[in-house]
């Protein structure tokens, strides 16, 4: 019987994609939770009033900014973990 | 004998190289069930923001106003505890369902599965069935390929954009959002989140698909901790199926020394994660049961009994009885019941009114013209009910301190009201600081709350 078999994807692309996903997704999730907890306890309006009263920032922007600040931090941590866990032979070309 | 299945295994790399997966279309009991789940869940997602309740959007997580509406319930930042509780309930429910029925969540309810299903429908509508899709991908670019691929991308992007729009519609009133979209007056952050969520949907459901389950999903990694020998799994009946092999429809398998598996590969071709269920339970299996549908159809055609691939438990396969009540399910179930009960009780008994008393920082006390000592405050009153309240402020059980400047405060529904307040003591017979209790009460509705505050007078020499 003649079966149609899809062509394999090149391995390096696949590996890199999988690693990027493993770094991006948990850090995204952690940043989401951190953002929720942080802004549930702290009203950005009050925070900015107390800290930088001359800056006028709508809450939506503050939430968005807060999320990406958190994500930068968690993404950094995840990336470092990935880097440190890399086996020596993976680093070779 | 045919050659072995052609799964490409790659040395000791963390991730195996994987051919692009073209799941074959499938009809059957479980496919119908998933279609129903897709319509129910996506129906909830796409329709809920449009529902109205009491003149407002029924489900609205109003971030700018810091208030969450879920039908008749309103959640304030002070209620965040209960939303966190709700998330814990969701987590424990997942554990409970997993212990009982395995990866039911993955196969039917996970957004990744549900949206991927819709993206696959679109792909099928534009590019055809599995073999046509593989041929199309292998073929050189021509007008037809361009048209088919273009149409698919256009539909995908449109659907993803609508998804992003709906997502933002949970956080900002969706009717306003629709108006702003039509008039091109969306704010920067609204545009950003529509594009961001739309892009995430497109990327995850159109492009990454099973790779999300295999490489990115934490649940896929730890769900096995909830499994035991009585957990429902999708499994291949090795004893009945082996030796597998092709045969004519009317051939007697016993005479040929074969089992019931005709080795048609249908179960492999329909698998959205590209595994062979006959190799045993694998972490990639999202329990979507497509292989059951595929195998059942083949068994029907061959005139064999269904269930060569089927839902079962390890103990059932071994001929032992099914046990639903066991320590694991009882523990998860009991915990879930406790959490749910506490949640319902707690949400029903939330304080309808909150009083906060903030001292003015300028001075500890002030001496008025008639010799009385006065302290000033700002009182924040949070009316969490959906009705206007008119509360009277009183000092409880302390005749030495009275309210100087006001008694009644009108509180609009669902609003925070701040009022200045002055307390006075005419001829204080105490010195230093005294704690007083301030009460706010609407006599008509009975809504009331109290808060303590400090009152300062000069130290006696």
- Read off the pLDDT of residues A34-58 as tens digits, 9 standing for 90 and up: 998 898 888 888 888 888 878 778 8
- Would B56 be classed as within a structural domain? yes
Q: Per residue in B312-349, pLDDT tens?
A: 998 998 889 888 888 999 999 999 999 999 999 998 88
* Residue that is last in its domain, among B191, B208, B225: B208
Q: Rounded to the nearest 5 degrees, what angle is found at the Cα of A77, between the Cα atoms of A71 and A78?
A: 85
CA separation for the pair B166, B157 (Å, rounded): 14
The answer, yes or no, to whether residue A5 has pLDDT greater than 70, is no
Q: For B385-390, what is the mean pLDDT?
A: 88
Per-residue confidence band for B208, with pLDDT thresholds at 50, 70 and 90: confident
- Would B326 be classed as within a structural domain? no
Within an 8 Å CB–CB cutoff, is residue A63 touching chain B? yes
CA separation for the pair B115, B163 (Å, rounded): 10
Which residues partner with B301 through β-bridges? none
- Would B131 be classed as within a structural domain? yes
B71 CA to centre of own chain: 17
Within an 8 Å CB–CB cutoff, is residue B135 touching chain A? yes
Angle between helices B143-169 and B111-127 (to 10 degrees): 150
Highest mean pLDDT among A22-26, B176-180, B366-370: B176-180
Which of A22, A43, A64 is opposite residue B189, by nearest beta carbon? A64
* Residue that is last in its domain, among B208, B243, B270: B208
Which residues partner with B403 through β-bridges? B423
- Would B445 be classed as within a structural domain? yes
Contacts of B340 (CB under 8 A, 6+ apart): B89
Q: Test B135 with A59 for CB contact under 8 angstroms.
A: no
Question: Which A residues 70-89 touch B at CB under 8 Å?
Answer: none
Q: Residues B435, B452: contact at Cβ < 8 Å?
A: yes
Task: Calculate how close chain A gets to B172, using CA atoms only, in Å.
Answer: 10
B194 CA to centre of own chain: 18
Q: Per residue in B157-169, pLDDT tens?
A: 999 999 999 999 9
* Residue that is last in its domain, among B155, B182, B208: B208
CATH code of B412's domain: 2.60.40.10
Per-residue confidence band for B126, with pLDDT thresholds at 50, 70 and 90: very high
The pLDDT value recorded for residue B17 is 47
Q: Test B216 with A40 for CB contact under 8 angstroms.
A: no
Q: Residues B192, B200: contact at Cβ < 8 Å?
A: no
- Would B217 be classed as within a structural domain? no
Q: Residues B159, B115: contact at Cβ < 8 Å?
A: no
Q: Test B138 with A3 for CB contact under 8 angstroms.
A: no
Which residues partner with B61 through β-bridges? B68
Q: Test B20 with A9 for CB contact under 8 angstroms.
A: yes
Contacts of B264 (CB under 8 A, 6+ apart): B246, B298
The pLDDT value recorded for residue A68 is 95
What is the count of structural domains for chain B? 2
Q: Per residue in B54-79, pLDDT tens?
A: 888 999 998 888 889 998 888 888 88
Within an 8 Å CB–CB cutoff, is residue B137 touching chain A? yes
Q: How many residues does chain B have?
A: 461
Task: Calculate how close chain B gets to A69, using CA atoms only, in Å.
Answer: 15
DSSP designation for B206: I
- Give the domain extent around B383: 353-457
Per-residue confidence band for B445, with pLDDT thresholds at 50, 70 and 90: confident
Q: Residues B274, B305: contact at Cβ < 8 Å?
A: no
């Amino acid at each position: 019987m003649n079966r149609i078999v899809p062509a394999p994807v090149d391995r390096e692309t696949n590996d890199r994609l999988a690693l990027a996903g493993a770094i991006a997704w948990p850090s995204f999730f952690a940043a989401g939770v951190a953002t929720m907890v942080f802004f549930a306890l702290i009203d950005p309006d009050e925070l900015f009033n107390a800290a930088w009263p001359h800056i006028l920032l709508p809450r939506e922007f503050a939430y968005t900014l807060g999320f990406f600040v958190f994500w930068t931090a968690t993404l950094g941590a995840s990336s470092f973990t990935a880097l440190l866990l890399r086996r020596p032979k993976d680093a070779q070309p | 004998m045919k050659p072995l299945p052609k799964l490409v295994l790659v040395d000791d790399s963390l991730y195996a190289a994987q051919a692009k997966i073209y799941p074959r279309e499938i009809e059957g009991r479980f496919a119908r069930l998933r279609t129903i789940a897709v319509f129910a869940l996506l129906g909830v997602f796409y329709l809920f923001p449009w529902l109205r309740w009491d003149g407002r959007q029924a489900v609205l997580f109003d971030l700018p106003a810091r208030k969450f509406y879920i039908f008749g319930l309103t959640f304030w930042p002070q209620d965040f505890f209960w939303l966190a509780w709700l998330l814990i309930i969701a987590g424990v429910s997942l554990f409970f369902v997993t212990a009982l029925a395995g990866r039911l969540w993955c196969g039917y309810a996970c957004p990744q599965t549900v949206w991927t299903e819709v993206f696959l429908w679109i792909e099928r509508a534009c590019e055809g069935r599995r073999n046509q899709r593989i041929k199309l991908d292998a073929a050189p670019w021509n007008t037809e390929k361009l048209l088919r691929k273009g149409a698919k991308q256009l539909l995908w992007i449109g659907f993803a954009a609508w998804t992003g729009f709906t997502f933002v519609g949970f956080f900002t009133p969706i009717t306003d959002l629709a108006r702003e979209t039509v008039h091109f007056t969306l704010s920067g952050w609204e545009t950003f989140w529509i594009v961001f969520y739309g892009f995430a949907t497109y990327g995850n459901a159109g492009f990454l698909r099973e790779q999300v389950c295999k490489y990115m999903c934490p649940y896929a990694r730890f769900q096995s901790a909830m499994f035991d020998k009585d957990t429902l799994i999708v499994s291949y009946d090795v004893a009945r199926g082996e030796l597998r092999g092709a045969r004519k429809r009317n051939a007697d398998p016993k005479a040929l020394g074969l089992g019931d598996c005709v080795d048609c590969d249908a179960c492999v071709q329909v698998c959205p994660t590209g595994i062979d269920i006959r190799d045993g339970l694998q972490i990639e299996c999202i329990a979507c049961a497509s292989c059951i549908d595929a195998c059942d159809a083949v068994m029907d055609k061959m005139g064999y009994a269904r269930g060569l691939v089927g839902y079962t438990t390890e103990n059932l396969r071994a001929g032992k009885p099914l046990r639903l009540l066991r320590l694991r399910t009882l523990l998860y179930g009991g915990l879930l019941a406790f959490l749910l009960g506490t949640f319902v009780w707690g949400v029903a008994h939330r304080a309808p009114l909150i009083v906060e008393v903030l001292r003015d920082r300028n001075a500890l006390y002030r001496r008025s013209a008639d010799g009385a000592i006065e302290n000033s405050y700002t009182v924040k009153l949070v009316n969490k009910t959906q009705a206007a309240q008119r509360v009277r402020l009183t000092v409880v059980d302390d005749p030495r301190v009275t309210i100087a400047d006001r008694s009644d405060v009108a509180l609009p529904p669902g609003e925070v009201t701040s009022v200045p307040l002055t307390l006075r003591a005419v001829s204080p017979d105490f010195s230093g600081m005294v704690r007083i209790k301030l009460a706010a009460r609407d006599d008509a509705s009975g809504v009331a709350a109290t808060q303590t505050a400090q009152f300062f007078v000069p130290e006696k020499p």
